[in-house]
Amino acid sequence: MSNMLRRRLNILLGGDEKRVDSRTIYVGHRPCPPTEAFIPQKFCDNRIVSSKYTIWNFLPKNLFEQFRRIANFYFLIIFLVQVIVDTPTSPVTSGLPLFFVITVTAIKQGYEDWLRHKADNEVNKYPVIVLEDGRSIRTESEKIKVGDIVEVVEDETFPCDLILLQSSRDDDTCFVTTASLDGESNHKTHYTVPDTERDLQSLNATIECEQPQPDLYKFVGRMHIYKAGLDPAVRSLGPENLLLKGATLKNTKKIYGVAVYTGMETKMALNYQGKSQKRSAVEKSINAFLLVYLCILISKAVVCTTLKYVWQSRDGQDEPWYNEKTQKEKDTYVYLKMFTDFLSFMVLFNFIIPVSMYVTVEMQKFLGSFFITWDKDFFDPEIQEGALVNTSDLNEELGQVEYVFTDKTGTLTQNNMEFIECCIDGFQYKNTDSMSELDGFCVTDGPVSKLQQKAGLDKEELFLRALCLCHTVQVKEAGSDEIDGNQVDGLVADLTHPEEERGFIASSPDEVALVKGAMRHGFTFLGLENKNMKIRNRQNDVEEYELLHVLNFDPVRRRMSVIVRNRSGDTLLFCKGADSSIFPRVRPEEVDRIRMHVERNATEGYRTLCVAYKLLSPEEYAVADAGLRDARLALQDREEKLMAVYNQVETRMSLIGATAVEDRLQEEAAMTMEALQGAGMKVWVLTGDKMETAKSTCYACRLFQRGTELLELTVRTLEEGGRKREERLHELLLDYHKKAVQDAPPVKAGVTRSWSTANQEYGFIIDGATLSLVMNPSPDANSSRYKSLFLQICQNCTAVLCCRMAPLQKAQIVKMVKNSKGSPITLSIGDGANDVSMILEAHVGIGIKGKEGRQAVRNSDYAIPKLKHLKKLLLAHGHLYYVRIAHLVQYFFYKNLCFILPQFLYQFFCGYSQQPLYDAAYLTMYNICFTSMPILAYSLLEQHIAIEILLNNATLYREIAKNAMLRWCPFLYWTVLGIFQGLLFFFGVKYLFSNPALQDNGQVFGNWSYGTIVFTVLVFTVTLKLALDTRHWTWINHFVIWGSLAFYVFFSFFWGGIIWPFLKQQRLYFVFANMLSSVSAWLVIILLILLSLLPDILLVVFRKPRGPHAGQKKKCQSSAGGSKSSRSSIRPLLMRTFSDESNTVI
């Protein structure tokens, strides 16, 4: 009573339900007991929100985010200065480009967020059925409230987290697939709460459960069921009663459940990482370079302001004698004048900071992303779709990836198990598609002396019976509307029994594969009815076995068993499990015959299971039966007691044989993984699946090799020593660290696996429970170094496997690596909703358009149809995008330095009067029209190395690793080049002007002619420099490069050849035409262009040409030359003019 009073007071006083450890839910919103007043609690609604903006906050929020960019904020300040202060240039010169950048970016980001809104609405507006006052009401998913009773039919997805109240199945269970949550496509069984009313309208109950938390496998609660005149019945609730949002109902016509967690409080939403703004490494480099150029700009303005006042302090320099100011006038507002002069110089020189670079970068990213979408190699005829780009901001990041985090189920594998072969009594039997062989078996190998021999017929049939009986598979009739994906395949054409046209449902897909394997060879599992298992043997007789006990699989025992009784009254135990757990429990002489086959199958990447049996005497069974019943009724230490009985029963068994099952890999999965490792990337597999399955997949993908030593850090290894888990964890971490880090020889940069076979390779395996101990250790544990040791070990392993991961743990691992020393670029790839968290956490997130819904695709930066497409996406597109944008950034800073340095030098010759060297039209048009299109075309179309060569030589990817082309060394090279050419432009033209009479009639050129000659040399030099750098010419490159130069000449004639009525003063009237009438001007322009480009021309002449065509001629040498290209100096790629960029395979 006091608890209820406290809860009521908490609600009445506005206490939030999150302040307490549990929540109370009234089923169907009915007060319990009915005599009490009903005060509803406030819970969040069932809306899912993944979008970033609303229509109201878009403008302020987007502008705030954009002006966080240092360049945008800087240009806003410059624009305001130009508006407020009387500056030498118009506010339009800064305001127009800034407005264009902000508008283009806002439209792009608004469109991307609109797509997210659209996806959210699909989920929120999904029609659902809710029970209200005994009536089924159709409503929308977002309107579900906590306490509502919801109806879900077969193949529908649960709209929120529900407690199962009622099922259409007779045994009060339902089947669920959680592929979109944990990646497992197998069926899981959930149970209704016992003793609930069949008529839910008359059910009066409350649910007390824990507050929302993200662990998918944990749930604690209890249900109080009130019946008239009786004390309330209390039933415990666990994860087996909870149906999670995102899971799908299977093989069950209909269920009813009560909503306990809704909207952003569901376990699926709590495992969703909020979408943060991802910024590429290139953008960070741009910001660093901007700061350098900002310092150059400020220092220029300070130097000019200082020298101006030094110069004016001399007598006669400030004002002419007839207009000289008094001392008082000179001293008035002197500091304000100095400040405005400083701002004027800042505005005059501000073109050194290239605002148009941001426009060009945005356009390059946006237009460049279409090349991924249009790539025909990414088109998948099966789903009739190609690649998809959700975020074009990260194109260049694809060329910088150091760590790849991949899901297993549906990403590396197709999650399609197939029975490959088996070994019976030491003889190898290969599965064949043809049934023409005797008994459907074909002997393929075995001991040489016994070649073409077989095991006895009794052993064969005993083995096949074991496969048909030792499992938890259920049969789905073919009469259902839809046979599940685990439908039986590969049946013979002349089926004589309709029972064979049925699908199988199991908790593990490999169990289905084994049952199918037995079925192909004459033994068919017909189903389980009233604890009786029926199978049809080769003679078409139906055998019936009473199922007495199932000894369930668990990861510590690594085996499962069944105890059955046949019609003769014999009690049999059939057991299957991993070789390491079966071999110690059978006779040694039987092990020797089978071990060789098991080891060979394991190295081939197959999942291997050993099969054993034992005939139980009546006395043995009686002891086992009593022990199992007592253990299952125990309230304390139930699991430990069951384990003890299991271990006691599963001894002194006879080994019959072993099976090999293949989890089919995705197309070209092994080749893709090898290419990524060859490119210097480290691959981590993060999966919610069992360790054995994941380990065999890693072998099949060649992530683990035959000689790889596996360092295992799992619950099993922690419990081996019999000590506390924390102590054992610390001991294992230190041991593995010594082995993999301290004792390992240092790995040279760029050495691939194939060159380092002399060194021992290590693979690391960890599971979710152990990872929790590493990431969140107990306070008393010696835990300060756990995470650091774990990370160091992983970084020294060739591949890392993390199994039994919850979605949030996947994100934690990615975050840990992302924030480690050196801030490596991370990429996550997955296909299910369970992968969304790690996709959002990584620098680059890639979704696969698989079978597990589209949550991963919607939340990814890029989506591809198959895993094999990742190779081209990174090695070709990523490599080229990075090289293009790196050149774009360096080129922009270089051409603006060339542009503004003569303007700075001019101040020394004009009394620091802020006189512009160039006309206002040239100042505005230089970055927008004259030099913008050639670099945009280059940054979209350049292929310094042919795509085929990039794909065939993964080591070329290493040359651009760690942001190699945007480091300080190449930046310094481009800056020095800009200073050299700027000095040459200015002083070359000054030397020309040392002879004043440059025209035939003896007239002299003025200051605008001076600036126009400098500007003409500048435009031609920077454009021709880009032409020299271009290795892949298309008609577009020719058009924009020569077209830009022609446009400049045409514009200069046009601008100076007409009297424009809207101009107060026309500085360039006939200046350009007059300038070209001088032979001396022509000579100097041509000479200065040649001198400026001389370093680049010399590089082209003296370096051996190695363009894409040269590389293609020697394509046959690619395998031999791959090592050379990877070992060749990276310096030419960074420090040169790109004329030599295709150092491919020479």
Which amino acids are annotated catalytic? 407
Which tokens belong to 222? 């209890």
Rounded-to-10 torsion of CA 421, 422, 423, 425: -150
| Residues 175 and 252 sit within 8 Å (Cβ to Cβ) | yes
**What CA dihedral angle connects 618, 621, 625 and 631, to 10 degrees?**
140
Enter the tokens of residue 89: 């240039």
CB 410 within 8 A of CB 183: yes
DSSP-derived letter for residue 878 is I
3-state secondary structure of 222: strand
Decide if 693 contacts 578 (C-beta within 8 A): no
- The 3-state DSSP class for residue 489 equals coil
Please check whether residue 859 is in contact with residue 844, taking contact to mean a CB–CB distance below 8 angstroms.
no
Using DSSP's 3-state secondary structure scheme, residue 184 falls into strand
Contacts of 9 (CB under 8 A, 6+ apart): 15
Q: Give ∠ CA 844-847-848 in degrees, rounded to 5.
A: 140
Rounded Cα gap, residues 954 and 947, in angstroms: 11
The two counts, helices (H) then strands (E), for the chain are 38, 34
Q: What is the dihedral of CA 259, 260, 261, 262, to 10 degrees?
A: 30
Radius of gyration of the chain from Cα atoms? 37
DSSP structure string for 949-970: HHHH-GGGGGGGTTTGGGSHHH
User: In 403-528, which ranges are continuous DSSP H helix?
Assistant: 457-469, 509-520
Q: What is the DSSP string of 260-325?
A: EE-GGGSHHHHTPPP-PPP--HHHHHHHHHHHHHHHHHHHHHHHHHHHHHHHHTSTTTSS-GGGPP
**Residues in contact with 403: Cβ distance below 8 Å, sequence separation at least 6, in sequence order:** 681, 682, 683, 684, 817, 824, 825, 826, 827
Write out the two tokens for 386: 């190609």
CA dihedral 1128, 1132, 1133, 1134 (to 10 degrees): 120
Q: Whole-angstrom Cα distance, residue 258 to residue 527?
A: 32
Q: By the 8 A CB rule, do 32 and 228 touch?
A: no
Residues 779 and 742: beta-carbon distance below 8 Å: no
Secondary structure of 472-486 in the HEC alphabet? Answer: CCEEECCCCCCCCCC
- The single-letter DSSP state of residue 779 is T
Residue 11 tokens read as 């609600």
Beta bridge partners of 608: 660
Q: CB–CB of 614/652 below 8 Å?
A: yes
φ and ψ of 185, to 5 deg: -95, 5
Q: Which residues contact 993 (CB under 8 A, 6 or more apart)?
A: 1005, 1010
Strands 826-830 and 844-848 come out as: parallel
Using alpha carbons, select from 876, 844, 1079 the residue that is nearest to residue 280. Answer: 844
Integer Cα distance of 816 and 811 in angstroms: 9
> 1054 is written with which tokens?
């046009």
Burial class (CB in 10 A: 0-12, 13-18, 19+), 541: exposed
